[in-house]
Amino acid sequence: MILFGPRYKGLLDDIYEHGVLPQDFSIYLHHPSITDPSVAPAGKSTFYALIPVANQGKLPIDWETVGPVLEKRILDEVGRRLIPDIHDRIVTKFHYAPRDFALDLNAYLGSAFSLEPILTQSAWFRGHNRDDKVKNFYLVGAGTHPGAGIPGVVGSAKATARLMVDDLR
Ligand SMILES: Cc1cc2nc3c(=O)[nH]c(=O)nc-3n(C[C@H](O)[C@H](O)[C@H](O)COP(=O)(O)OP(=O)(O)OC[C@H]3O[C@@H](n4cnc5c(N)ncnc54)[C@H](O)[C@@H]3O)c2cc1C
């Protein structure tokens, strides 16, 4: 479910062009315990609320300071629009920002989706699954052909495995 904010193009321009932290949000809400009860204790739920922000290259802010403030603003917004008593319902919470993507997952500039899917970095222009120059060097995952997202990543794994098997033959 998405809680759309008041702006669309202006919001994307703030994130991708201007590299500023937007004042308004479009929030992607996910409630995984509906389909997989094992991700929460009995009688409880697991939620996340996601907002897009610029990577650390475009927006080099101190996430240790900004993270908790932004977390509260997002929860306030969900409370205002959807779940009025959300603050009282929360048993435990954490937030995950570009700094965490960089430190925990080794993601370049804390980017959550690998290479930006602009035309010159999409489809054939993305990293090839078999390296063009180095023999026996194969690449897989969001930064490679065909691209980010679970279906794309699984597709790239299949393509890479097929190339490796072909080369072994
Ligand atoms: C919040 C969020 C929501 C998303 N929602 C969706 C969605 O609804 N649908 C969808 O299709 N996609 C979604 N995606 C995108 C999708 O999750 C990613 O495209 C996908 O997980 C990328 O898979 P990957 O295997 O390339 O990389 P990752 O899943 O990031 O795996 C890379 C792994 O490599 C490890 N690693 C890094 N460096 C090293 C090293 N030097 N040595 C050993 N290990 C290392 C990392 O720790 C990590 O475990 C979402 C992404 C985010 C961040």
Q: Assess whether 29 and 69 both reside in one domain.
A: yes
Q: What angle do CA 110, 113, 152 make, to 5 degrees?
A: 155
Kindly indicate the confidence band of residue 145, based on its pLDDT and cuts at 50, 70 and 90: confident
Q: Assess whether 159 and 132 both reside in one domain.
A: yes
Model pLDDT, residue 99: 97
Looking at the whole model, is its pTM more than 0.75? yes
How many angstroms separate the Cα of 168 from the Cα of each of 93, 127, 145, 156?
Answer: 48, 21, 21, 18
Kindly indicate the confidence band of residue 159, based on its pLDDT and cuts at 50, 70 and 90: very high
Q: Which residues pair with 3 in a beta bridge?
A: 27
Q: Assess whether 90 and 138 both reside in one domain.
A: no
Q: Assess whether 92 and 149 both reside in one domain.
A: no
Counting the structural domains of the chain, the total is 2
Of 35, 150, 154, 156, which is best to mutate to test ligand 1, by the most ligand atoms within 8 angstroms of its C-beta? 150
Q: Assess whether 96 and 125 both reside in one domain.
A: no
Q: Assess whether 76 and 34 both reside in one domain.
A: yes
Of 35, 50, 105, which is best to mutate to test ligand 1, by the most ligand atoms within 8 angstroms of its C-beta? 105
User: Which of 78-87, 147-156, 159-168 is predicted with the least confidence, judged by mean pLDDT?
Assistant: 147-156
Asked if residue 54 has pLDDT above 90, the reply is yes
Q: Assess whether 24 and 63 both reside in one domain.
A: yes
Own/partner contacts of 97-103, CB < 8 Å, gap of 24 or more, are 97/53, 97/63, 97/66, 97/67, 97/70, 98/53, 98/54, 98/55, 98/56, 98/59, 98/63, 99/56, 99/63, 99/64, 99/67, 100/63, 102/56
Q: Assess whether 103 and 46 both reside in one domain.
A: yes
Cα of 121 to ligand 1 centre, how many Å? 18
Which residues constitute the domain of residue 139?
119-168
**Ligand 1 atom 33: the closest Cα is on which residue?**
105
Q: Assess whether 46 and 123 both reside in one domain.
A: no
Model pLDDT, residue 123: 86
Q: What angle do CA 20, 26, 28 make, to 5 degrees?
A: 120
Domain boundary among 91, 110, 129: 110
